[in-house]
Amino acid sequence: MTDLPAILGGSPAFPEGVPFTRPTLPPWETLAPQFEAMYRSGNLTKGPHQRRFEARMEEYLQVPHVVAVSSCTSGLMLGVQSLGLEGEVIVPSYSFMATFHALRWCHLKPVFVDCEPDTLTVDVEAVRAALTPRTVGVMAVSLFGNPPDWPALEALCAAKGLALFSDSAHGLGTLLHDKPLGGWGSFEVFSLSPTKLLPAAEGGLVATREERVATWVRSGRDYGNPGSYDCEFAGLNARMSELHALLGLAGVENLDSYAAHRNRVAEVYHAELGGLPGIRFQKIREGVRSSYKDFPILVDPEAFGIDRDHLGRALQAEGIPTRAYFFPAGHEQTAYADLPQVHLPHTERLSRQVLCLPIASHMDLEEVRRVAWALRRIHARVADVKVSG
């Protein structure tokens, strides 16, 4: 293997390519008999496995109510709807589109605020500064597995009488002082899509301590039909099928070992890339074991020599796909162009500097070292790479 990066004509670090991520699934042998029994029973949805999965997750997350839904997005929509809010909701702009869309679907006005430059989670002082007489709630996000400053958010919202809830799509596998997320605010919603630690193909879990929220979401995932066909409100079809529930159930037992492995991957990336000029890492909050749903690096173009997008292209040439999460940020998206324009310096910089590297719950550590080696090789020839365009 030469020292020449692939973008300059060297041979790629991964001639066959390495996946950006891969779902880690339970062994087929354990699932096959359960799938077959479910299939033969004809009970494909609204069957017993959905409730079994919910009960298992109530135990795992240590919360009184978990409601399984078809996606994190639908869970967020129904959770927000359950609160019956009208007005402005403060939300970090540095997040995935589904965060803000849930507010829009519920006719709430998102008020975008900045994030902390190191943890990448919502800046509580920015939330405080954005409060107006029309503010009715705050929506937090656990970003890449790093939770926001929950005690500070809860104290602020309690003092001001505001609703508080969370998009915790990335949060399964995270521990805060040795306890899973799920019990903060009025509700938290987790995602079970294939890029997450507990993949159920598609799906979401609404975790809440509030019975009222759980009852609303249970009815809302079934059109808002209490059983009499006299709907109490306009719900959705957001049910979780039995197939999805079985897949989720089978994965729960391994969730902690998946998170532990991702932390090992993160340690290798830290060790191998830590000294590179212009590369920084997300700061994980004190007392947290992150799920590392993603592994972001922050690329300072001046110090590193090329910008994030250029590095992404050079890594792609090595057979290493990356993701520029989250660009554009929420306040820069066309869907929100009708809102008053705001300037959020940290968010705008991060959305142009963050590059997520490959990670998976069973990623071979040699592959991780090779990704890091390819990145260092690019940096060693960064002046030539820069002129390569």
Whether cis (ω within 30° of 0) applies to the bond prior to 326 is yes
Shortest Å distance, C-beta 340 to ligand PLP: 24
Is 371 a binding residue for ligand PLP by CB under 6 A? The answer is no
In the complex, the smallest distance separating the C-beta of residue 325 from ligand PLP, rounded to whole angstroms, is: 8
Choice between 50 and 191, CB closer to ligand PLP: 191
Least distance from ligand PLP to the Cβ atom of residue 234, Å: 20
- Tally helices (H) and strands (E) across the chain: 14, 13
Long-range contacts of 107-112 (CB under 8 A, 24+ apart): 108/80, 108/136, 108/137, 109/134, 109/339, 110/330, 110/336, 110/339, 111/135, 112/329, 112/330, 112/331, 112/336, 112/339, 112/342, 112/344, 112/347
Per-position x/- string for 169-208, each x denoting binding to ligand PLP as judged by CB under 6 A, each - no binding: xx--------------------x-x----------x----
Which window, 38-46, 165-173, 357-365, 374-382, contacts ligand PLP (CB under 6 A)?
A: 165-173
Q: Tell which residue, 200, 219, 383, has the closest CA to residue 304.
A: 383
Q: Which two tokens stand for residue 276?
A: 């590179």
Q: Is 96 in the site for ligand PLP (CB under 6 A)?
A: yes
Q: Give me the least distance between CB of 145 and ligand PLP, in Å please.
A: 11
Task: Kindly tell me which residue out of 21, 93, 95, 166 binds ligand PLP, with binding defined by CB under 6 A.
Answer: 95
Distance between terminal CA atoms of the chain?
A: 23
3-state secondary structure 37-49: HHHHHCCCECCHH
Task: Considering the complex, state which of residue 185 and residue 204 has its C-beta at the smaller distance from ligand PLP.
Answer: 204
Considering only 21, 24, 50, 71, the residue that binds ligand PLP (CB under 6 A) is 71
Q: 111-142 burial, b if ≥16 CB within 10 A, otherwise e?
A: bbbbbbeebbbbbbebbeebeeeebbbbbbbb
347 contacts ligand PLP (rule: CB under 6 A) = no
Which helix (DSSP H) or strand (DSSP E) does residue 54 occupy?
helix 48-61
Question: Among residues 21, 24, 50, 73, which is the contact residue for ligand PLP, using CB under 6 A?
Answer: 73
- Reported as half-sphere exposure (CB side, CA atoms, 13 A), residue 56 has a value of 17
3-state secondary structure (DSSP) of residue 97: helix
Torsional class of 107: left (φ above 0), alpha (ψ -120 to 50), beta (otherwise): left
Least spacing, CB of residue 101 vs ligand PLP, in Å: 9
Segment lying near ligand PLP (by CB under 6 A), choices 6-14, 91-99, 171-179, 260-268 = 91-99
What is the closest distance, in whole angstroms, from the C-beta atom of residue 278 to ligand PLP in the complex?
26
Question: Tokens at residue 315, please?
Answer: 């890594």
Distance CA 78, CA 214 (A): 10
| Residue 379, amino acid | H
167 sits near ligand PLP (criterion: CB under 6 A) = yes
Comparing CA positions, the residue from 193, 150, 197 lying closest to residue 293 is 197
x-or-dash pattern for ligand PLP, window 122-161, by CB under 6 A? Answer: -------------------x--------------------
Report the residue number, 10 or 204, with the smaller CB distance to ligand PLP.
204
Minimum Å gap between C-beta 164 and ligand PLP is: 17
- Binding to ligand PLP by residue 319, rule CB under 6 A? no
Residue (95 or 322) nearer to ligand PLP, CB = 95
Applying CB under 6 A, among 13, 77, 83, 98 the residue interacting with ligand PLP is 98
Binding residues (CB under 6 A) for ligand PLP: these are: 71-73, 95-96, 98-99, 141, 167, 169-170, 191, 193, 204
